[in-house]
Amino acid sequence: MTGRIDILGAGAFGTALALTYARAGHAVTLWARDGAEAMEAARENARRLPGHRFPDSLRVTGDLGALTADLALLALPTQSLGPFLSSARLRAGTLVSCAKGIDRDTGLGPTALIARHSGATPAQLTGPSFAVDIAAGLPTALTLACADDRIGAAVQDRLSTHHLRLYRTTDVIGAEMGGALKNVVAIAAGAVIGAGYGDSARAALIARGFAEMARVARAAGAQEATLTGLSGLGDLVLTCGSEKSRNFRFGMALARGETLGPGVTVEGLHTAHEIAARGDLDTPLADAVAALADGRADVATIADALLNRPLKPE
């Protein structure tokens, strides 16, 4: 089923989704905070996703008033989502967040931010996906989470394409927590590789990281089965195993005393600080990532502390 779709946020991921849906026959409007005129003239996003020409059915605008579709995808960072929604007056009846993280100011996930600042039905699109793969039309599967299963089924049908397959769930908390928490583990995995500890250590960290993810998600009210799906385990495997992941690269850079440069969003860092600050659960990896990023401990000290934790059953 084709129709009109608005996508807000012209980063790599938002642009990749816009390309996908325009190629599938939808009339797509991509909103960019800046640079809209240049992209519209060049017919590509040369800064964020070069080499992918815009189909004729994709137009770019910097005018929020030009967004009139009943379905809009929010490809905006979690930390800017609340302030944006509180000032924007979007017309869409369904708003689908594509962000992965927990808002540090409120402790809320993206759909709760949508509900707080908008009268639209909130949904979450998440799972193992790199923008370059989606833009290239490579097979990808994602999770669409919506508490209203009737609306979720309609959105699933509308947003699924030949190359982009969506599964749906009503466990919004589980889908959001999986997408947020895997970024924390990805930073830790990147630090392991950056410090030269090897693939065996990374595999062990991923397994223990998944156990921590499940523990935190259950405490938030998630269904544990959701964490074993695309939005949890699937995304964890992808993000911890590739330098295409910004969170993984950030962890590598931390371990090596380097930086990623300005303008790179690392959602896992915010999530790690949010989880570590709560202090009500055993979260050694989130605590370690927060300490490493703040400069309170180096990788060697953290590794020694983790390896010297009391032995216990798995």
**CB within 8 Å of 9: residues ≥ 6 apart:** 31, 32, 33, 74, 75, 76, 98
**Residues 176/227, Cβ–Cβ less than 8 Å:** no
Residue 128 one-letter amino acid: P
Angle between helices 110-117 and 172-194 (to 10 degrees): 130
Q: Is 135 labelled as part of a ligand binding site?
A: no
Active site residue 312: no
- Residue with token string 């960290």: 205
Report DSSP state, residue 38: H
Distance, CA of 296 to chain centre:
27
45 is in an annotated binding site: no
- Please name the amino acid found at residue 67: L
118 annotated as ligand-binding: no
Residue 131 labeled ligand binder: yes
Of 149, 84, 148, 96, the closest CA to residue 127 belongs to 96
Please state, in angstroms and rounded to a whole number, the distance separating the CA atoms of residues 131 and 35. Answer: 19
C-alpha gyration radius of the chain: 19
Does residue 285 contact residue 205 with C-beta atoms inside 8 Å?
A: yes
In 3D space, the residue among 55, 38, 37, 100 whose CA is nearest the CA of residue 74 turns out to be 100
Asked whether the beta carbons of 107 and 274 are under 8 A apart, the reply is: yes
CB 66 within 8 A of CB 6: no
235 is in an annotated binding site: yes
Is 47 labelled a binding residue?
no
From the list 23, 26, 59, 182, the catalytic residue is 182
Q: Are residues 103 and 78 in contact, defined by beta-carbon separation less than 8 angstroms? A: yes
Backbone angles phi, psi at 14, to 5 degrees: -60, -40
Torsion angle of the four alpha carbons 263, 268, 273, 278, in this order, in degrees rounded to the nearest 10: 150
Q: Is 14 annotated as a binding residue?
A: yes
10 is in an annotated binding site: yes
- Which residues are documented as binding site for sn-glycerol 3-phosphate? 100, 127, 129, 182, 235, 245-247
- Which residues are documented as binding site for NAD(+)? 9-14, 131, 246
- Which residues are documented as binding site? 9-14, 33, 100, 127, 129, 131, 182, 235, 245-247, 267
- Which residues are documented as binding site for NADPH? 13, 33, 100, 131, 246, 267
The set of catalytic residues is 182
